[in-house]
């Protein structure tokens, strides 16, 4: 079993890496990664648990519930005493008549949140959720990744939806509550209503913009699980300039995979000598950099197959030296890759 870390004030201790399910959510929706084999996906989840990862992060939006269903299938074959913690999210929905290949709505109305929770419990085959998270702030807009959609004028105030989350925790339907993709100002508002048990920001060597939120969490005894620590595959060491993404892969239209790709790959190349010194892979170095950032409890890593997990699981034991850290900082400065502070 992997070494665990105290997850804020939740009472849970979690492994530095957890299994993420966005990548296995399948085709047919706006933010698909393309096709995925469900049998391989279930095997990957079980392999992650067998390898010692003790938490899974998913969301109702992933594949319009399909990812949660796969988690439920995988856990049904694991003895209860060996099952991992389950973290999921609410707040991105497609209403009746919406095209699933179009953007979802950000909806955190109280009745909608409670309905989403019951649906998630059913798909997961669970009687409670260990960490229930608000996926994105309710802005009364269609969700557009990396941009702000056009507001509809029907946003639920943060104060209202966070109170609902606190009520669910008090009722015992969820063990802990968290906020994903919320900034420091929003975290302050929420904390004044009920303690924020955890946050889930995007964070990687190429996306360091959430450093203020991570520092906020450290000051408030709030756990932090970072998503996209491998920058959606860019930091695996396997992504190449000639790779052609599937037509329904959401990454095709984003600058980090197009105009910014040469700079990003130059930074990846700078990680290779560090990986070689440790007898590790580039992905493991990138993950160790994230989990070594002060205030971060763990990082969410996806995989389509058991073999892919074996390619990054070693990051749990990898500790970067001061010289390694300095070399990575120098590479970030030299390549000008990514955004945010280059060191804690």
Contact 287, 299 (CB under 8 A): yes
SS3 177: strand
Cβ-based neighbours of 108, under 8 Å, separated by 6 or more: 90, 91, 134, 138, 156, 160, 161, 164
> Is 62 among the catalytic positions?
yes
How do 5-6 and 13-14 pair as beta strands?
Answer: antiparallel
Task: Spell out the alpha helix ranges (H) of the chain.
Answer: 38-50, 66-76, 110-124, 158-171, 184-191, 211-219, 261-278, 282-291, 306-310, 322-335
Torsion of CA 67, 250, 49, 321, to 10 degrees: -160
Instruction: Please report where in the chains the tokens 């994903």 appear, as a residue.
Output: 180
Separation in Å, CA 249 to CA 92, 266, 341: 19, 23, 29
Contact 13, 55 (CB under 8 A): no
Nearest to 181, CA basis, from 153, 146, 152 = 146
Catalytic residue among 62, 132, 161, 227: 62
Contact 245, 251 (CB under 8 A): yes
Sign of the torsion angle spanned by Cα atoms 241, 247, 249, 250: positive
The tokens for 114 are 């409670």
Return the axis-axis angle of helices 261-278 and 282-291, rounded to nearest 10°: 90
Catalytic annotation, residues: 62
């Amino acid at each position: 079993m992997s070494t665990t870390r105290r997850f804020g004030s939740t009472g849970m201790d979690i492994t530095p890496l957890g299994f993420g399910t966005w990548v296995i959510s399948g085709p047919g929706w706006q933010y698909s990664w393309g096709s995925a084999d469900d049998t391989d996906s279930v095997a990957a989840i079980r392999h992650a648990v067998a390898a010692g990862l003790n938490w899974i992060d998913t969301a109702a939006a992933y594949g319009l519930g399909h990812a949660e269903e796969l988690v439920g299938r995988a856990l049904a074959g694991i003895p209860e005493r060996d099952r991992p913690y389950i973290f999921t999210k609410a707040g991105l929905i497609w209403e009746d008549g919406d095209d699933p290949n179009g953007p979802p709505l950000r909806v955190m109305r109280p009745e909608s949140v409670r309905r989403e929770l019951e649906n998630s419990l059913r798909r997961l085959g669970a009687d409670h959720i260990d960490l229930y998270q608000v996926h994105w702030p309710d802005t009364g807009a269609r969700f557009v990744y990396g941009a702000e959609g056009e507001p509809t004028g029907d946003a639920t105030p943060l104060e209202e939806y966070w109170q609902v989350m606190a009520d669910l925790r008090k009722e015992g339907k969820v063990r802990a509550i968290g906020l994903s993709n919320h900034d420091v100002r929003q975290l302050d508002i929420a904390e004044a209503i009920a303690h924020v048990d955890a946050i889930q920001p995007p964070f990687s060597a190429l996306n360091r913009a959430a450093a203020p939120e991570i520092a906020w969490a450290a000051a408030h005894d709030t756990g932090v699980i970072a998503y996209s620590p491998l920058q959606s595959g860019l930091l695996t060491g396997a992504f190449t300039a000639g790779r052609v993404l599937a037509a329904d892969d959401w990454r095709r239209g984003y600058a980090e995979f197009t105009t910014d790709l040469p700079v990003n790959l130059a930074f990846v190349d700078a990680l290779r000598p560090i990986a070689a010194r440790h007898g590790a892979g580039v992905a493991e170095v990138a993950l160790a950099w994230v989990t070594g950032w002060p205030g971060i409890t763990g990082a969410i890593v996806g995989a389509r197959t058991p073999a892919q997990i074996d390619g990054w699981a070693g990051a749990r034991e990898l500790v970067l030296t001061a010289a390694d850290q300095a070399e990575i900082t120098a590479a970030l400065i030299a390549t000008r890759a990514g955004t945010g502070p280059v060191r804690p």
